[in-house]
Structure 1
Amino acid sequence: MLFNSPEFFVFFLIVYALYRLLGMRGQNRMLLAASYIFYGWWDVRFLYLVVLSTGLDYCCGLILGPGRIPASDRAKVSVLTILASVLFVTLNWSAMSWGGAMPTLGESAASSWAEPSIDWGRLASPDWIGVWVPIGTIATVAAANLVYGPLSRMTTKRRRRVGIILTVGANLLLLGFFKYFNFFIDSFTRVLEPMGFPVEAMHLHVILPAGISFYTFQSMSYTIDVYRGKAEAIRDFEDYALFVTFFPVLVAGPIERVGHMMPRLMTPRRLNLDQTTRGLFLILFGLFKKMAVADSLAVSVNSVFNSHTATWADVVLASVAFAFQIYCDFSGYTDVARGVGKVLGIDLMLNFNLPYFSRTPSEFWTRWHISLSSWLRDYLYIPLGGSRHGESATYRNLMLTMLLGGLWHGAAWNFVLWGAFQGAILCIYRLFSTREPRPVADEASADDAGLGRRLGAILATALFFALTCYGWMLFRAGSLNQVVEFTRILLAGPSDLHFNIAKPTTAGVFGLPLLVAFECLEYAYGTRVFYRSLPVPIRAALYATLLFILILGTSNVATQFIYFQF
């Protein structure tokens, strides 16, 4: 279910109405059910993976914490996991249709719903996956219950070591299989084929489950924090399941931490007008970014990256346009997610903080996709040694972290290349970082120094933005050949300034300058809610303008959120 679809607003209105009628525990149970509906709207089969991952990490959290899992909880998790394999994988849900076809991703449910019909014969006719997944699940659940006895009798240190290996290993195995299996098979195709290996027979047509990278990292952060003693194990399965599946963050983040999220889920929420209006503005602004700006710029970006001929001007403009497209697309999703959470009285973490005002790569990664960059820092860079073992080790750790961060984004070599580029500029900036400026001698010199620092800051920001745009070209490229060709064009210089890039739609033409002006004011004021201090007429004009341009944006060709594929 997409945030920018009619069915989501119907869904959210129903959720909000029920939310106002229930107490805290009832709200949480309702939100859990709503989250499964929200995710299942994409593909009901993927709900099995969510249940499997939730049950695994819930049990591992108890193993790592108190050291025992009550029999009733083990039985609950076992039954729910097996039941999920039957309900979500064995049953053929494509046999159920609304007016002849089940609503698909991006399709308006309002236009496709009609008389519901069920082909009961097809519903109960599973394919081979639908047969073997429940069998494998039963076997796995049985094995886990058999292993629990010896595991619970181990010494605390050994039990915790085995528990963390199980949870991290199982999560990475699931993520690696669905996200990278075909990538590595395809990468070795050219090596294996000349040797006579049946490469095609090894290839599996695996569909990438939506948001698997996000909820896997969120689950792993929980068990690692419990292992480190930074968080208490969650005793109630339903509470933990809500932490993993809370629908605003389930598909594309932010990647929440248990220490930040659970207190907000486990305490009564008090809804008030101020909080609600701030949440509604975030929803409006996020949809404006996505539908008016990102979807408009996608027309221009695709016209260059999907073509076989491009000029220097085309590559430059398309790279800059993609920088704003991916920012508006992803931060727009996050704004809507945070807005929905705020309307429900649940504050989600900030995931973007004016990233294109950064002067250095290290500053950029404290502003861009903050939940992922902080995750990589805390669970990868620091455990590797961080900057504690000398400069050479620091550069190695930076490169490894960014390479893996690039691979996290997708199973393609251009993402690995993008990660390598990000690691390289982190190392280069660190190598040539300047020392603190010396104190100035007099007032005139101070004024000159202040002006020089401001000009230097502007130039540093412009330079780093140019590097960022080149990085986004690597990220967006459809192949390594395109990376090489576009890099060659850029290095050749502006000898050909005519361009063939398609113009953005009207919504983008008006929306992008408004967005840039808004964020410049936000940066100047130093607060994200500066607009609330504006005079009422100006604020009303701002809201009306955003809404008007958003309405213009509804005519854009709707595109899937970019980070859904990660």
Structure 2
Amino acid sequence: MLFNSIDFAVFLPIVFALYWLLNKQALKFQNLLIVLASYLFYGWWDYRFLALIVFSTLVDFSVGNYLRKTTDDFKRKLLLYTSVVVNISLLGFFKYYNFFIDNFITAFTFFGNDIQLNSLNIILPVGISFYTFQTLSYSIDVYKRKLEPTTDFISFAAFVSFFPQLVAGPIERATNLLPQFYKHREFKYHHAVDGLRQILWGFFKKVVIADNCAKTVNIIFSNYTDYSASTLFLGAVFFAFQIYGDFSGYSDIAIGISRLFGFNLKQNFAFPYFSRDIAEFWRRWHMSLSTWFRDYVYIPLGGSRGSRWNQIRNVFIIFIVSGFWHGANWTFIIWGALNALYFLPLLLMKKNRVNTDVVAQHTRLPSVKEFFQIGLTFLLTVLAWIFFRAETITEAADYIYRLFNRSMFSLPEIRPTFIFILLLGFLIVEWTGRKQQYAIEKLWLKYPKVVQWVIYYVIVMIIFLYGGREQEFIYFQF
């Protein structure tokens, strides 16, 4: 069930009404409703994959309970390894089986050996990369004694399957979200209004910005050999805004819906295209995944401690694994490796923590230095996104090669004026609200209520007039 669908427009008000009608009942009834609604939401795509969510829930709930009952180090490690192996095996089979089989066959063929192995027609379950990491974080935190294991199965099932963020994040930690299912929740009008405001902005980013950019991006990338370098550059820039609007838009909608139900999710995007270096970009882009890899992979490997070689190794591991998490294709691995190359000089020169505050914190505009830093960081990111968008490494490399010729200084063959105007207005709003959790959180609150409502209605009209047809979110494929 898509957020931007008629089905969801019917589903959400019904669940919302039932949820708050149960507010006077025992808390478990509200949590049970969330579980049932979440299973319906997920099963709308393919009910068969509900078994995977239920299985992951049972495995990690059981692991947590057994960890609570034993203090034996060997048994605790065995239980942790059980959770890791089961979850990663499920993810590996559904997402990476054919990738490894195809590359295994290619490697043997390269060395002159013919091997017959069959790939399988495997359907990738929506959101498996997200809820797998969510349940894993629970087992790891319980093992490390950072979290008390739960004995409330309904609350745990609700935590794993919570429908707003089930299929595309944010990837919530059990330490943040699970305790919220234990507490009685009261409807708060100002929280609900704030949630609706964030939902509105999320829909604008997805339906207006991302989906309109997608039309041009698809044309250019599908026929990139026919266009000038300037047009190819335009396509790459539009894809940067498409993926940002698409993914951060989903996160805004998910966080806003959660607010309607009395839950607070972590911020997942913090205006990453206003970053002054790549390290800052990765602190602001898909923050729930970046911090997950940092806490559960990078730091256990040694992080930035140890020898230079260990630092370099850890950086490449974390970025390549992050790239591979996104999909079973060498393009994602190269995308991750390229970002590692961007990040490495900052780490080795110990400048990766220089820009930790909001850009132009006390001024309306960035300084000249900050302006060029933002521009350079954005350009490097755009080049990396080409590998993310391309179907193959060869296609990505050829696309980038064609960028570097004299036609870069010509006018693009495709000039979607309307999208340029949209992006300009979008950037102005995002820049103005860059210090908030989301761009319009407090942007117009100082104006009279009438003015605020006029602005919100204008945004709604733009969404309906220029939203285009219903399109899936990009990150559903991950």
Q: TM exceeds 0.5?
A: yes
- Does the CA-based 8 Å contact 1:66-1:233 persist in structure 2? no
Give the residue type in structure 2 aligned to 1:209. Answer: P
Shift of the alpha carbon at 1:545? 2.1
Give the secondary-structure state (helix, strand or coil) at the position aligned to 2:201: helix
- Does the CA-based 8 Å contact 2:386-2:396 persist in structure 1? yes
1:26 and 2:29 matched: yes
- Does the CA-based 8 Å contact 2:270-2:438 persist in structure 1? no
Distance of aligned partners of 1:8 and 1:398 in 2 relative to their CA distance in 1, 3 Å threshold = same
Equivalent position to 1:480, from 393, 400, 422: 393
Distance of aligned partners of 1:530 and 1:318 in 2 relative to their CA distance in 1, 3 Å threshold = same
Q: 1-side partners of 2:88 and 2:344: how far apart?
A: 28
Alignment of 1:233-272 (within 5 A): 233-272=149-188
Q: 2-side partners of 1:436 and 1:377: how far apart?
A: 14
Shift of the alpha carbon at 1:453? 8.8
Give the secondary-structure state (helix, strand or coil) at the position aligned to 1:2: coil
Shift of the alpha carbon at 1:451? 13
1:171 and 2:87 matched: yes
Shift of the alpha carbon at 1:434? 5.7
1:560 and 2:472 matched: yes
Distance of aligned partners of 1:493 and 1:255 in 2 relative to their CA distance in 1, 3 Å threshold = farther
Identity within the alignment, %: 40
Alignment of 1:202-241 (within 5 A): 202-241=118-157
- Does the CA-based 8 Å contact 1:318-1:501 persist in structure 2? no
Cα deviations by residue, 1:168-193 (Å, 9 ceiling, x for unpaired)? 01111111111101011122333334
| Count of aligned pairs between the two proteins | 462
1:521 and 2:432 matched: yes
Q: What residue number does 1:297 align with?
A: 213
Q: 2-side partners of 1:452 and 1:12: how far apart?
A: 40
Alignment of 1:451-462 (within 5 A): 454-462=367-375
Distance of aligned partners of 1:242 and 1:482 in 2 relative to their CA distance in 1, 3 Å threshold = same
Q: 1-side partners of 2:121 and 2:92: how far apart?
A: 14
Alignment of 1:81-100 (within 5 A): none
Q: What residue number does 1:534 align with?
A: 446
Shifted more, 382-391 versus 211-220: the winner is: 382-391
Q: What residue number does 2:359 align with?
A: none
1:353 and 2:270 matched: yes
Q: What residue number does 2:243 align with?
A: 326
1:546 and 2:459 matched: yes
1:196 and 2:108 matched: no
- Does the CA-based 8 Å contact 1:254-1:351 persist in structure 2? yes
TM-score using structure 2 length? 0.92
- Does the CA-based 8 Å contact 2:270-2:434 persist in structure 1? no
Alignment of 1:66-465 (within 5 A): 66-67=69-70, 156-193=72-109, 194-199=112-117, 202-307=118-223, 308-432=225-349, 454-465=367-378
Shift of the alpha carbon at 1:493? 5.0
Give the secondary-structure state (helix, strand or coil) at the position aligned to 2:284: coil
Distance of aligned partners of 1:189 and 1:496 in 2 relative to their CA distance in 1, 3 Å threshold = farther
- Does the CA-based 8 Å contact 1:305-1:478 persist in structure 2? no
Q: What residue number does 1:41 align with?
A: 44
Shift of the alpha carbon at 1:524? 6.3
Larger radius of gyration: 1
Shifted more, 473-482 versus 518-527: the winner is: 518-527
Q: 2-side partners of 1:253 and 1:426: how far apart?
A: 25
Shift of the alpha carbon at 1:388? 1.7
Cα deviations by residue, 1:381-403 (Å, 9 ceiling, x for unpaired)? 00111012133211210111000
Give the residue type in structure 2 aligned to 1:39. Answer: Y
Q: What residue number does 2:6 align with?
A: 6
Distance of aligned partners of 1:306 and 1:502 in 2 relative to their CA distance in 1, 3 Å threshold = farther
Q: 2-side partners of 1:372 and 1:552: how far apart?
A: 34
Shift of the alpha carbon at 1:491? 3.0
Q: 1-side partners of 2:191 and 2:437: how far apart?
A: 20
Q: 2-side partners of 1:394 and 1:451: how far apart?
A: 37
Give the residue type in structure 2 aligned to 1:317. Answer: L
Q: What residue number does 1:445 align with?
A: none
Cα deviations by residue, 1:53-91 (Å, 9 ceiling, x for unpaired)? 111111111122223xxxxxxxxxxxxxxxxxxxxxxxx
Q: 2-side partners of 1:33 and 1:435: how far apart?
A: 44
Shift of the alpha carbon at 1:273? 1.6
Distance of aligned partners of 1:452 and 1:248 in 2 relative to their CA distance in 1, 3 Å threshold = closer
Distance of aligned partners of 1:452 and 1:429 in 2 relative to their CA distance in 1, 3 Å threshold = farther
Shift of the alpha carbon at 1:196? 2.5
Q: 2-side partners of 1:239 and 1:470: how far apart?
A: 43
Give the residue type in structure 2 aligned to 1:162. Answer: L
Shifted more, 376-385 versus 355-364: the winner is: 355-364
Q: 1-side partners of 2:211 and 2:183: how far apart?
A: 38
- Does the CA-based 8 Å contact 2:243-2:474 persist in structure 1? yes
Give the residue type in structure 2 aligned to 1:195. Answer: N
Q: Which runs of 4+ in 1 moved over 6 A?
A: 450-453, 524-527
Q: 1-side partners of 2:438 and 2:243: how far apart?
A: 23
Unaligned stretches of 5+ in structure 2?
Answer: 355-362
Equivalent position to 1:56, from 54, 59, 78: 59
Shift of the alpha carbon at 1:47? 0.4
Shifted more, 458-467 versus 385-394: the winner is: 385-394
Distance of aligned partners of 1:314 and 1:433 in 2 relative to their CA distance in 1, 3 Å threshold = farther
- Does the CA-based 8 Å contact 1:511-1:549 persist in structure 2? no
- Does the CA-based 8 Å contact 1:299-1:502 persist in structure 2? no
Unaligned stretches of 5+ in structure 1?
Answer: 68-154, 438-449
1:499 and 2:412 matched: yes
Shifted more, 451-460 versus 388-397: the winner is: 451-460
Cα deviations by residue, 1:452-499 (Å, 9 ceiling, x for unpaired)? 992211111111011011111111111111111112112335456243
Q: 2-side partners of 1:240 and 1:227: how far apart?
A: 16
Distance of aligned partners of 1:340 and 1:434 in 2 relative to their CA distance in 1, 3 Å threshold = closer
Shift of the alpha carbon at 1:428? 2.0
Q: What residue number does 1:110 align with?
A: none
